[in-house]
Amino acid sequence: MLADRLREITRTRLHRPAAFGEAAAARRRPASLVGPSGRAMIVAADHTARGTLRSGARPLAMADRADLLDRLCTALARPGVTGVLASADIVDDLLLLGALDGKAVFGSMNRGGLSGARWEVDDRFTGYTAEAIVRSGLEGGKMLLRLDYADRSTARTMESCARAVNALGDAGRVAMVEPFVAHRADGVVRNDLSTEAVTRSAAIASGLGHSSARTWLKLPVVADMERVAAATTLPTVLLGGEVSADPDAAFAAWAEALELPTVVGLTVGRSLLYPADDDVETAVDTAVGLL
């Protein structure tokens, strides 16, 4: 990201904040949430708002906003990339950079469960509201739902997610739910990536709200993925997670899961934005090729 572009964004924030709303209103919205292949290729970039800055061996990789924006613009410009999932600050930056025309934009809604915090499972809605998503002309909202059966905060987060599903659906917007069965071990919240746990989380998330007509699921790729996919009829996008030590194996697992009838695409962040060889274009093109 050139220094003058970054300086321009900061000056706009200082002197003409109304420009963000103007850019959102002028954005050309996509004709469809999926590409010509009938699949979605969404780049995820909402990690920083929850204090998650690590990528692979780099503990503060995502802390450099100019570098992150440069990588995002590179990824979004590649053929076959259909959209982005991000927190409001990043969406605002990308709007000013003109990187979101024709892309499906999903705003991240609950980022209050800061990574490593004692209240992490109590995932408060501190980002986009359903009303703001509609006002900004975004295509949908995404929410994280950790289901810790031993933590009372889970009930509050689950109720908040259900309300968000209702509000988004009633407004004609997609509600993308990312559920995990989780537990705390040695003071750290860990997601259970067993087939049974992911299947259970998919079933629970499918039942949120008074209608599932506009709900999508965002799920990890695990063993026996066909059993997970069989738990729901909701459109499902696969998440990428942390940078894999074996990217070829990760791509192969995505390719296999994409054959399942309910899986409609990928929502991947760090694996594409911070590949081991730092070749963002090749990483994105490889993922698009799977579709």
What is the full DSSP assignment across 236-266? EEEE--SPPS-HHHHHHHHHHHTTSTTEEEE
Identify the band that residue 50 occupies on the pLDDT scale cut at 50, 70 and 90: very high
Residue in this structure with the two tokens 């063993």, named with its chain if needed: 223
Q: What is the mean pLDDT of residues 58-79?
A: 95
For the segment 178-223, what is each residue's pLDDT rounded down to a tens digit?
A: 999 999 999 899 999 999 999 999 999 999 999 999 999 999 999 9
Characterize 249-260 residue by residue with b for buried, 16 or more Cβ atoms within 10 angstroms of its Cβ, and e for exposed.
Answer: ebbebbeebbee
State which H helix or E strand residue 58 sits in. none
Q: How far apart are CA 208 and CA 210, in angstroms?
A: 7
pLDDT recorded at residue 244: 74
Residue 60 has pLDDT above 80, yes or no: yes
pLDDT recorded at residue 105: 98
Q: How far apart are CA 177 and CA 191, in angstroms?
A: 15
Question: Under a CB-based contact definition with an 8 Å cutoff, are residues 264 and 235 in contact?
Answer: yes
Residue 114 has pLDDT above 90, yes or no: yes
Q: How far apart are CA 11 and CA 17, in angstroms?
A: 9
Q: What is the mean pLDDT of residues 125-135?
A: 98
| Alpha-carbon distances of 109 from 47, 130, 143, 168, rounded to whole Å | 12, 8, 6, 11
pLDDT recorded at residue 174: 98
Q: How far apart are CA 62 and CA 47, in angstroms?
A: 8
Identify the band that residue 1 occupies on the pLDDT scale cut at 50, 70 and 90: low
Q: What is the mean pLDDT of residues 253-275?
A: 96
Q: Which domains does the chain have, with CATH numbers?
A: 3-289 (3.20.20.70)
pTM (2 decimals)? 0.96
C-beta pairs of 93-97 under 8 Å, 24+ apart in sequence: 93/9, 93/65, 93/69, 94/69, 95/20, 95/23, 95/24, 95/27, 96/8, 96/9, 96/12, 96/19, 96/20, 96/23, 97/5, 97/9, 97/69, 97/73
Residue in this structure with the two tokens 């689950």, named with its chain if needed: 158
pLDDT recorded at residue 240: 86
Residue 165 has pLDDT above 70, yes or no: yes
Q: How far apart are CA 177 and CA 168, in angstroms?
A: 12
Name the token pair of 48.
């920083």
Residue 3 has pLDDT above 90, yes or no: no
Residue 23 has pLDDT above 60, yes or no: yes
Q: What is the mean pLDDT of residues 93-99?
A: 96
Characterize 269-286 residue by residue with b for buried, 16 or more Cβ atoms within 10 angstroms of its Cβ, and e for exposed.
Answer: bbbbbbbeeeebeebbbb
Q: How many CB atoms lie within 10 A of CB 4?
A: 7
Identify the band that residue 56 occupies on the pLDDT scale cut at 50, 70 and 90: confident
